[in-house]
Homo-oligomer: A and B are copies of this chain.
Amino acid sequence: MSGHRLNVHGGNIYETSKDYGIRQEEILDYSVNINPLGVPENVRNIIISNIDNIANYPDNECSSLKSGVSRYLNIPESKIIIGNGASEIISLFFDVIRPKRICIPAPTFVEYADTAKCFGIEVNYFKLNEEEDFKLDLNSLLSYIDDGIDALVLCNPNNPTSKLIKNDELLELIKYTYSKNIYIMLDEAFIELTERSNNNSMVAALNEYNNLFIVRAYTKLFALPGLRLGYGLGDESIIKKMWERKLPWSVNTFANCLGDIFTIESDYLLRTTKWITEEKKWFYNELCKQKKFKAFEPSTNFILLKILDEGLNAAILKDKLLLKGILIRDASNFVFLNNKFIRLAIRDRESNLKLLNALIEVL
């Protein structure tokens, strides 16, 4: 981990704005994967009507949020932990479980390994092969993890590959690891941004398998990364320990007011599913027409691309697009990727057309 460990993530429009002398609001951000439907109108209203409440300590037990998640996913409150973004949830998982060695299929979100290293945990990467379009080969993984691994970390759909593991394969993995006393941390941060939404989730398996822990967040779904709100679902005994170890009051007053968000924004959820189903397919097809790239077929709201042009790499392309006010994610720092890979968000049609035109112009 470097000084400020997040410089390498997507979404750092502050630094980009400074470095390139572009005003923040003029940057079209394709480096971060949040719902382009934007912050729901109800959230704005809730914040405004609760401004006076910042003079009170937040509810440290997050009662209203727990109740809302419980109703949304039909899961008992005793299986729910609320935290300051998925980051605090991931950190609490390692803090409470304290695995010695974990397995992470990669390329994937860098924060699992970064956080694990903070706890002195040994990280073993299981390579997802480019030749297989980065799809998880279940049998290979099963034989790989059979050797001194305490926990398996999975991101589903996976960042940055945008690949989804199917429910039956996941269930097989969960059963196998359960039989071997291996924990699974399953990050479903993007699950509502897949076509089948929560039908792709493994929440139902929590009833039977106490080795399963699921990470979720409001961040991507409701376009709220600035508010800091994530949650975790797991066995009661683990959840209880997490509440004990958690940073006090880490979930702020405004975040605590979003307990009913899944209910009052049910239409937003439907519109989200409609958008991702249509736009993902259209954008992927358009990108496939660009012969200088290989586009890996996405299952959620971002696409991994490999630059085929010999004279071009991710850093150069990023620079060229920034001159047009578009920020993309140079994906070269993901484990097992290289300087030929970029990741693009999927946004609204108007923005996506701008991006496609910009790509044609710079290539």
Q: Name A's B-contacting residues (CB within 8 A).
A: 1-6, 9, 11-15, 24, 29, 32, 34, 38-39, 43-44, 47-48, 51-61, 63, 84-85, 87-88, 91, 111, 118, 223-228, 240, 243-245, 247-250, 252-255
Contacts and interface: CB of A to CB of B under 8 A. Distances in A.
Contacts of A63: 14
A228 B9 CA distance: 24
Nearest to A88: B247
Contacts of A244: 1-5
A225 B1 CA distance: 31
A254 B85 CA distance: 15
What is the total number of copies of this protein in its complex?
Answer: 2
Given A14-B63, A111-B248, 4 more contacts: A57-B225, A84-B249, A91-B247, A252-B252
A45 to B, nearest CB: 10
A82 to B, nearest CB: 12
- Ranked nearest first, the 4 interchain pairs of A and B with the lowest CB-CB distance are A226-B253, A54-B226, A57-B225, A11-B57
Contacts of A52: 39
A240 B240 CA distance: 32
B55 A248 contact: no
17 contacts: A5-B248, A39-B52, A44-B51, A53-B226, A54-B226, A55-B223, A56-B226, A57-B225, A58-B228, A84-B247, A84-B249, A84-B250, A91-B247, A118-B245, A226-B252, A226-B253, A228-B252
A100 to B, nearest CB: 17
Contacts of A48: 48, 51
Contacts of A34: 55
A120 to B, nearest CB: 12
A75 to B, nearest CB: 19
Given A47-B51, A51-B39, A6 B225 contact: no
Given A34-B55, A55-B34, A249 B224 contact: no
Contacts of A2: 244
A350 B277 CA distance: 59
A323 B273 CA distance: 50
A24 B52 CA distance: 12
Determine which residue in A32, A223, A228, A250 has the highest number of CB atoms from chain B within 10 A of its CB, and name it: A228
Nearest to A32: B57
Contacts of A29: 56
Nearest to A223: B55
A85 B54 CA distance: 13
Given A87-B249, A118-B245, A225 B55 contact: yes
A249 B227 CA distance: 10
Contact of A249 (B1, B55, B118, B228): B228
